[in-house]
Structure 1
Amino acid sequence: MITSARERRLARGAMRGDQQALRSLYEEYSEQLFAVAYRLTESSADARDVLHDVFCGLPGTIRRFDRKRPLGPWLRAVTARAALKHLRSERRRREISSVSIPHELQAEPSPEFPVLNSIVVERALSSLPQELRTVVILKDMKGYSHREIAELLQVSRSTSEGRLYKARKLLRAELFER
């Protein structure tokens, strides 16, 4: 666990472009930032790309960091925005190439396994539209408040709440009403 004094020193160093400070921030936060990126992109390769983009751009983006607030949540928000941006650019590329596996050919979970099997849950999450999946991940798995999610996704708080309600309803249907 990083102390707030050390966090502030590293943030100041990163603002100046200090490579050692950036390396220390990477060592301290890369695992949790990778987890955020992976949850949103559902791909290790994409999550690594997002993490790379975040840390390469950190000397510039950290200048917008409010030093009165903790660095960790800010870095997670930066990573989530970078992951969403990455997904939008990937979606555009896929729309251009338009090659996808038809739904009926995709593997379905076996009914013999318990519903709470993590694979089934991951598949259920994957079946959600991106905007709903993002809110579920940020709220239920990462603990963001609706205010933070609204700010991060640049939507209203009520939109965040509505998306979570709809996502949970779809997840319940997918997991329990088979």
Structure 2
Amino acid sequence: MIETNREGRLARRAAAGDREALRALYEEYSDMVFAVAYRLTDSSPDARDVLQDVFVYLPTALKSFDQRSSLGTWLRVVATRQALQLIRARQRRREIPIGDDVPTRPPHALDTIALERALATLSDKLRAVIILKEIEGYSHKEISNFLEITPTASAARLCRARASLRATLGER
């Protein structure tokens, strides 16, 4: 984790176009951005697209970074919004995936793999809410802003997602 002062300096330098500062931010935060994007999109290629988009536009986006939260927290929000935008675009185009998406990630415990598979069975709407709430820790109010739904709809989707996961994981 980058110390706060260094983080602020790197953010200012990257916003001014300093490639070395941008590289340092990429090295520090790319894994986290990829993880958020992968959880939301359930696709390594889509997560890589989100990662690329976040860092390509980061110098411009950093100009609106107000430093009220840590850069990591802010980048999580940026990555979440970018992933949700990609999901919406995919839904509008009604893409049909060709072939299996084989994620490249380190081996996990069987329970984690089972949970990831169960999450993949959820609709995009339910998966987005459960990941944003349970994994990323956002409130229903924040989720409602990201997804452009009401906090009540967010809570209802979370309830349906949990029930679906219980049913899927209970079948094992």
SS of equivalent residue, structure 2 residue 2? coil
Q: In the alignment, what sits opposite 1:140? A: 134
In structure 2, what residue type is equivalent to 1:27?
A: E
Taking the aligned partners of 2:13 and 2:58, their CA distance within structure 1 comes to 11
2:124 matches 1:156: no
Moved more, 30-39 or 67-76: 67-76
Q: In the alignment, what sits opposite 2:60? A: 60
Q: CA deviation at 1:177?
A: 5.7
Q: In the alignment, what sits opposite 2:31? A: 31
Moved more, 16-25 or 117-126: 117-126
Q: In the alignment, what sits opposite 1:51? A: 51
Of structures 1 and 2, the larger Rg is shown by 1
Seen in structure 2, the aligned counterparts of structure 1 residues 154 and 36 have a Cα distance that, compared at 3 Å, is same
Q: CA deviation at 1:16?
A: 1.4
2:121 matches 1:124: no
Q: CA deviation at 1:45?
A: 1.5
In structure 1, what residue type is equivalent to 2:153?
A: T
Seen in structure 2, the aligned counterparts of structure 1 residues 27 and 60 have a Cα distance that, compared at 3 Å, is same
Taking the aligned partners of 1:12 and 1:138, their CA distance within structure 2 comes to 28
Taking the aligned partners of 2:47 and 2:146, their CA distance within structure 1 comes to 18
2:83 matches 1:89: no
1:165 to 159, 166, 169: 159
Seen in structure 2, the aligned counterparts of structure 1 residues 166 and 65 have a Cα distance that, compared at 3 Å, is same
In structure 1, what residue type is equivalent to 2:53?
A: D
Q: CA deviation at 1:17?
A: 1.8
Q: In the alignment, what sits opposite 1:16? A: 16
In structure 2, what residue type is equivalent to 1:149?
A: I
Taking the aligned partners of 1:80 and 1:155, their CA distance within structure 2 comes to 15
Q: In the alignment, what sits opposite 1:42? A: 42
Taking the aligned partners of 2:92 and 2:20, their CA distance within structure 1 comes to 36
Seen in structure 2, the aligned counterparts of structure 1 residues 64 and 155 have a Cα distance that, compared at 3 Å, is farther
Taking the aligned partners of 2:10 and 2:138, their CA distance within structure 1 comes to 24
SS of equivalent residue, structure 2 residue 160? helix
Moved more, 130-139 or 168-177: 168-177
Identity over aligned residues, as a percent? 53
Q: TM-score, normalised by structure 1?
A: 0.81
CA RMSD of aligned residues (A): 2.2
SS of equivalent residue, structure 2 residue 57? helix
